[in-house]
Amino acid sequence: MINNIKTVGIVGGGQLGRMMIPYIKKLGLKAVVLDPAEDCPCAKLCDTHIVAGFSDPKGFARLAELCDVITYEFEHIDTALLKALEDKGQTIYPSVESLKVIQDKYTQNEALRTAGIAVPDFFAVTDLDDLKARYTKLQKPLMLKSRKGGYDGKGNAVIKTADDIETAYNTLSRGGTDDLMAEPLLNFKKEVSVIATRGQDGTCVIYPIAENLHKNSILDVTTVPAAVDKKTAYKVDACAKAVMECFKGIGTFCAELFVTHNGDVLVNEVAPRVHNSGHFSIEACATSQFENHVRAIVGLKPGSAELKYKSACMKNIIGTRDGAARYTGLEDALAFDHVHVHIYGKSEVKPGRKMGHVTLVGDPHEIEKKLQKLQIKA
């Protein structure tokens, strides 16, 4: 028992929860997962699986009944249900208030800007006529975004010409006046992210800055340390600390950022949870993002986020077809030294679905050679 905690609850049974559970068990604690899918990635690892939807009051009540502290592995949760548990004395980290602000991209950006943290220009879109009027006055092209629910490029639409406006709006709008926001499409130099974990006593550790490459708006490859100069690195680390203060973060958070051609650092999005771009930390850092998240939410100090190798690279295994999960290239990949394969245990593959990842550690030149030879397919 740690600080009177015996059981940790996780809302969401996906791969992020799956990678969290070993560190819950490492501390001698039990893991309870709430997820509607009976065969979710966490199902075979957790002690108890509550098969319930993310808007099911009975499921959430059962989770609170079984757990001493609750966390979550994704943002798209009914915060009213979590708030009701919190109001009854349930411990939830990160806080429900921070989740409520962050899960709406517009209110997230407002909170960041109010805290003095640089973000791209943005505005709320009230209706189609409002979007058309703003388009004529603003820098083009525009990125139209769903304020809630988007991920991996879903919920985004680029407006390159006036002819794109109506199609983009009709594709994303759900008919409400607070559905959408937009921002001028930024001509950035590179995308980076930074993971930070903050303990309940305010201790904060910052992971090495990661450089991210996307394909079809889905993270493909993450490399650490990112190729940024000292001045930019200082700005990114300062931004990570400011984000944790802004949201009074407890646990592991990720800030995704744009580095512009003139050296500015702008926050694109914040995730109040462990993050895909931090998976390298399992093998490459003194303490992984998952272990540090568990430490923080149960009241322990986070451990060192120091990189143990000269460099590391994480490549996602992304589905390219529909059907039963099946992998090729695993044997060849595992023949290399310092190559670590993680398969998430999903029974079905879909195009664009994250099915696993591979982490390579060591000399950057050797990593690049191995990366070119990896041919794992799902």
**Do both 199 and 170 map to the same domain?**
no
Final residue of a domain: which of 76, 92, 108? 92
d(CA 185, CA 294): 36
**Do both 138 and 26 map to the same domain?**
no
Asked if the structure places residue 265 within a domain, the reply is yes
**Do both 177 and 273 map to the same domain?**
no
d(CA 172, CA 146): 6
Long-range contacts of 130-133 (CB under 8 A, 24+ apart): 131/165, 131/169, 131/180, 131/182, 132/162, 132/165
d(CA 111, CA 248): 12
- Specify burial of residue 240 (Cβ count, 10 A radius: 0-12, 13-18, 19+): buried
**Do both 177 and 238 map to the same domain?**
no
H or E, element range at 270: strand 265-271
Number of domains in the chain: 3
Asked if the structure places residue 99 within a domain, the reply is no
Per the structure, the complete domain to which residue 175 belongs is given by: 121-184
**Do both 296 and 240 map to the same domain?**
yes
**Do both 222 and 268 map to the same domain?**
yes
**Do both 18 and 82 map to the same domain?**
yes
- Specify burial of residue 371 (Cβ count, 10 A radius: 0-12, 13-18, 19+): middle
Asked if the structure places residue 106 within a domain, the reply is no
Length of the chain: 378
Beta pairing, strands 265-271 & 251-260? antiparallel
Q: Which residue has the tokens 């939830």?
A: 92
d(CA 226, CA 172): 33
d(CA 93, CA 9): 10
Q: Helices 289-297 and 15-26 meet at what angle, rounded to 10?
A: 60
Asked if the structure places residue 102 within a domain, the reply is no
CATH number at residue 239: 3.30.470.20
**Do both 47 and 159 map to the same domain?**
no
Query: Within 10 Å of residue 108's Cβ, how many Cβ atoms?
Result: 25
Final residue of a domain: which of 164, 184, 204? 184
Asked if the structure places residue 105 within a domain, the reply is no
Q: Give the pLDDT score at 1.
A: 56
Are 62 and 50 in contact by the 8 Å Cβ rule? The answer is: yes
Q: pLDDT in tens for each of the 378 residues of the chain?
A: 577 899 999 999 999 999 999 999 999 999 999 999 999 999 999 999 999 999 999 999 999 999 999 999 999 899 999 999 999 999 999 999 999 999 999 999 999 999 999 999 999 998 898 899 888 877 778 999 999 987 777 889 999 988 899 999 998 988 776 789 999 888 899 999 999 999 999 999 999 999 999 998 899 999 999 999 999 999 999 999 999 999 998 999 999 999 999 999 999 999 999 999 999 999 999 999 999 999 999 999 999 999 999 999 999 999 999 999 999 998 888 888 999 999 999 999 999 999 999 999 999 999 999 999 888 988
**CA dihedral sign, ordered 145, 101, 257, 289:** negative
Strand order in the sheet with 30-34: 48-50, 30-34, 7-11, 69-72, 91-92
CATH number at residue 87: 3.40.50.20
**Do both 151 and 235 map to the same domain?**
no
Final residue of a domain: which of 150, 166, 184? 184
**Do both 205 and 233 map to the same domain?**
yes
For the chain, how big is the Rg over CA atoms in Å?
Answer: 21
**Do both 227 and 291 map to the same domain?**
yes
CATH number at residue 144: 3.30.1490.20
**Do both 270 and 343 map to the same domain?**
yes
Q: Give the pLDDT score at 155.
A: 86
- The token pair at 109 is 């950006």
